[in-house]
Amino acid sequence: MPNQQSFKCRVLRAVGTRATADTDFLATEEPLEIRLSWIEAGKRRQQTIAITMRSPGHDEELAVGFLAGEGIITCSNEIQSVEGNNNTSNTGSEANLVTVNLVDGVRPNIERLERHFYTSSSCGVCGKTSVNALGMAGAETLQAVELQISAATVYTLPIRLKEQQEIFQSTGGLHAAALYSPFNGQFIVREDVGRHNAVDKLVGHQLLGGNSGDHSSVLVLSGRASFELVQKAIMAHLPIIAAVSAPSSLAVKLAVGYGVTLLGFVRGERFNVYSHPHRIVFEGLCQETT
């Protein structure tokens, strides 16, 4: 059913030589159409920017975060309104459409729009593997950002993320991402069948809350750190990324080049620092360098 993040189904559960009827919960996956609306020559135009597979919920944040990650919008002041479909009575296409209306005077890059980003839940915005494309989108280096976090706090991040993965607990089929603020302890979690979508929802949450560009949050990932996810962090001004799994080689190169502190294999009381370690404070721990 629309706007439900999980649904129950009948299964035949096999264990050894026995099979019994049972029920299971699956993560919901549905397409979301993201439209952009702006005023040009006195008339309002609309264009579909992306069709992405996602877990229903926080769709407005997903749409805004996606547009921010692509450099189509840069701040909340450019957004007049977001027309979403949180009404659970909506069905069909009405429940899978979000329109972002830009304020008068803000005109998007038409060439960028004409590329029509079609994405999937598994790979997100794949194919955009050029570091140069990030610079063209207006990304700025985060080298000078002075945010720091203790190693002891880093150890707790995956635990907190797992504890708040509500839909994952019942389905086992969702990725998660979180924004952690070392200043006030705020920990915001979003889940989705797509790793990229979970991050986009967080970025959209920042923009819609007027908190974009403050350089004060840590991005926590439930899986690996890919090039695309590091790219989204840079566009959202997030200087520290803590991933439970491994980063890719291109993700590390991108983090090094844009001043992002990238942590991988954050599990138990261990992690690897792949770039800009000055933001990690090893309180009471022995830090050896070779």
Q: Is 9 a catalytic residue?
A: no
How far, in whole angstroms, is CA 61 from its chain's centroid?
10
**What is the secondary structure of 279-290 as a DSSP string?**
GEE-TTS-----
Does some domain include residue 59? yes
Which pLDDT belongs to residue 179? 96
One domain for residues 93 and 216 = no
Number of Cβ atoms within 10 Å of the Cβ of 21 = 8
Tokens of 13: 């559960």
pTM for this structure?
A: 0.77
Counted domains in the chain? 2
Residues 6+ apart with CB under 8 A from 185: none
Does some domain include residue 96? yes
Residues 6+ apart with CB under 8 A from 176: 161, 164, 165, 168, 189, 190, 191, 192, 198, 222
Angle (CA) 142-208-222 rounded to 5° is 60
Which pLDDT belongs to residue 118? 44
Which pLDDT belongs to residue 1? 36
Of the residues 96, 128, 160, which one is the last residue of a structural domain? 128
One domain for residues 154 and 275 = yes
Q: For CA atoms 19, 20, 21, 27, give the dihedral sign.
A: negative
One domain for residues 225 and 159 = yes
Of the residues 128, 163, 188, which one is the last residue of a structural domain? 128
Does some domain include residue 55? yes
One domain for residues 70 and 160 = no
Does some domain include residue 10? no
Domain containing 55: what range?
30-128
Report the chain's terminal Cα–Cα distance, integer Å. Answer: 56
Does some domain include residue 42? yes
One domain for residues 177 and 96 = no
Of the residues 94, 128, 162, which one is the last residue of a structural domain? 128
One domain for residues 183 and 265 = yes
Does some domain include residue 163? yes
CB 250 within 8 A of CB 227: yes
Query: CATH number of the domain that 44 lies in?
Result: 3.10.20.10
Q: Please give the order of strands across the beta sheet that includes 79-83.
A: 79-83, 97-102, 30-40, 43-54, 117-118
Tokens of 199: 């991050």
- Catalytic residue, from 9, 123, 126, 286: name it: 123
One domain for residues 174 and 103 = no
One domain for residues 104 and 158 = no
One domain for residues 265 and 164 = yes
Integer CA distances (angstroms), 147 to 217, 241, 270, 278, in order? 8, 12, 21, 9
Q: Which class for 173: exposed (0-12), middle (13-18), buried (19 or more C-beta within 10 A)?
A: middle
Number of Cβ atoms within 10 Å of the Cβ of 55 = 29
DSSP lists the bridge partners of residue 280 as 149
One domain for residues 160 and 246 = yes
Does some domain include residue 24? no
d(CA 155, CA 246): 16
One domain for residues 115 and 173 = no
Does some domain include residue 39? yes
- Tens digit of each residue's pLDDT, the chain (290 residues): 344 666 676 665 756 566 677 776 767 768 889 999 999 988 999 988 888 888 888 999 999 999 998 888 888 899 999 998 654 444 555 678 999 999 998 988 766 655 545 444 444 444 343 445 555 456 788 988 989 999 899 999 999 999 888 766 665 668 899 999 999 999 999 999 888 999 999 999 999 987 766 678 999 999 888 888 998 999 999 999 999 988 988 788 888 899 999 999 998 888 999 999 899 988 655 454 43
180 closest CA partner among 216, 145, 205: 216
One domain for residues 187 and 271 = yes
Query: CATH number of the domain that 169 lies in?
Result: 3.40.140.10
